[in-house]
Amino acid sequence: MKVAKTTTKYVRTYSTSLSRREVALLAGWERARRVSVTLDDIRQAVGAPVARDVASRLVAKKALERIGAGRYLVRPLRTLSRPTASSAAVQAAVLLQGEPYYLGGLWALTFHRLTEQQYVSVLDAFVARRHRSRRLGGARLVFHRVSPERLSYGMVATELEGMSVQLSDPERTLIDLLDFPELAGGGGEALRMVKQALPRVDRAKLVEYAARGARSSTCQRLGVLLERAGTAPRRLAELHRRVLKTKSVLSMDPGTSRRGHFNPRWGVIENDG
């Protein structure tokens, strides 16, 4: 660091200067609108023998932000003189770039404005291969391993801070809450969130996604919710065919007493008030 003394009683600190090669690298990535780079990108630009050293120096000078092994966020040259931080969602997208994934759970519920709450402290990532949970920025990134087929539908891409991010669409977000109620802290809370958001999503997509790959218990509970909402039986036929394959009788809210009206069509005790 270069330190400049002034005539007053404080010391001003300037950022370590970038070399010409480093400025050229950053400027080139900026012209190409690159938000992230890999170690392979740096090798191609400067050669394999010095690539790791160049990456390390750029990280030390805060021109790159290391997200994972060989993966970096690029800071625009104009922002190097002030502190900035990328969102956890963008960092997760950099980390998972090149593999099938989507971000979902309560963060997606917030993103799609399906709740008035702001859920940003935990980021749920659905992936095909095992990853270790970690902290990224101000959030905890939790991985959920699912079948590759589940990663082939129910997603949308959006641009955040110049980075393309894959996330669950509104309907998949609700299906995931019923399939993985621990995302919401339990079955009762997941059910409450789905009930509140149901009027704002596409019912046909809900039926399609659930019938295509959701758990039988999700199909049963969703069938009850859509039936209560006045959905015509013919529009629930595909969902009902899935339910016919199970003999399970379950509670609408698994966290409360199994007392309530029994719905024989869906095999559900309606104990959720």
Report the distance separating Cα 15 and Cα 44, nearest Å. 27
* Type of residue numbered 140: R
pLDDT at position 81, please?
66
CA nearest to 173, candidates 263, 102, 234? 102
Structure tokens at 64: 């790159």
pLDDT in tens, 66-118: 998 999 999 888 777 666 678 899 999 999 999 999 999 999 999 999 999 99
Closest CA to 12 of 2, 25, 26: 2
| DSSP states along 121-151 | SEEEEEESS----EEETTEEEEEEE--GGGG
DSSP assignment of 147-213: -GGGGGSSEEEEEETTEEEEEE-HHHHHHHHHH-GGGGTSHHHHHHHHHHHGGGS-HHHHHHHHHHH
pLDDT at 147: 95
In 3D, which of 145, 142, 202, 149 has the Cα closest to residue 173?
202
The pTM for the full model equals 0.81
Separation CA 152–CA 61 (nearest Å)? 39
Q: Give the model's pLDDT for residue 167.
A: 98
Contact of 154 with 141, CB cutoff 8 Å: no
Q: Does 3.40.50.720 match the CATH number of domain 18-79?
A: no
Low-confidence ranges of the chain (pLDDT < 50): 1-15
Cα-flanking dihedrals φ and ψ of residue 167, to 5°? -145, 160
The SS3 assignment for 103 reads strand
pLDDT of residue 138: 82
